[in-house]
Amino acid sequence: MAIEIVEVIRKTNVSTLFILPMFSDIVENVDYKLTTAPFSLTQLAYEYGFIKSFCYSYTSKDNNSLFLVFDKELVKQPMVKTTKPSQTLNNLLISSKYFNDLFITDNLCIYNLGIPPEFYDDVASIKRGQYSKVSDQYLHKLLFKVVINKGLVKSELAHKITQQNVAYAVCLKRPRIKQEIEKAFTVKDAFKLSEDVEYYQKFSTVKETLTPEIIQALSQR
């Protein structure tokens, strides 16, 4: 059964949907080896152990970073489905121009990637919950132009995010995403989004901060 928008909202956070795609060029030369269709960073991340991302972390005072939490074993597995089968996502992340630091626990790898300065204003808009105020340059990063066939990506969540271009549709207030949200949240009376509201939940600093307690919970998942 296909994942609905309410499941995307429940299973992800704002940084995963809206900030992770800023780093898409990390995997720009990684294609699916049978079709030469490009993978998105979101798809590859979920394929190789991605758990969640955060805008803040107790391990750093940097407010212009994204902290990516991965399963330690999966992120180091060779990307056998791609045109770079001997490469690992771990190596791509560490060798990228955005890499700041790596924090390792018994079973997690936490990557600190620096947000590109050209997107500081867009991140500020996202943190204010003003998704429709982002720049065209940022929107270009959000758009998944080619989507890998559902059968080639194990994660239903990653497929939904990319196939439906969820973040892109939210920022542009596309009617399709509006209708899906209204349908998901209608119980008895019809639920309608007004034209002057954003089409996604507000940014929550609490939900976007990596703490020792969260690390412990993710380690025991």
The C-alpha atoms of residue 190 and residue 83 are separated, in whole angstroms, by 48
Which pLDDT score, from 0 to 100, does residue 37 have?
67
Residue extents of the structural domains in the chain:
5-219
Contact at 8 Å (CB) between 107 and 115?
no
Kindly report the backbone phi and psi dihedral angles of residue 95, in degrees, each rounded to the nearest multiple of 5, phi listed first. -85, -5
By residue count, the chain amounts to: 221
Ranges of residues in the chain with a pLDDT under 50 are 1, 187-188
pLDDT tens-digit series, residues 129-180: 999 999 999 999 988 766 555 566 778 888 888 888 889 989 999 888 888 8
Quote the pLDDT of residue 2: 55
CA-nearest of 45, 48, 59, 58 to 17 is: 45
Report yes or no: 218 and 108 within 8 Å, Cβ to Cβ: yes
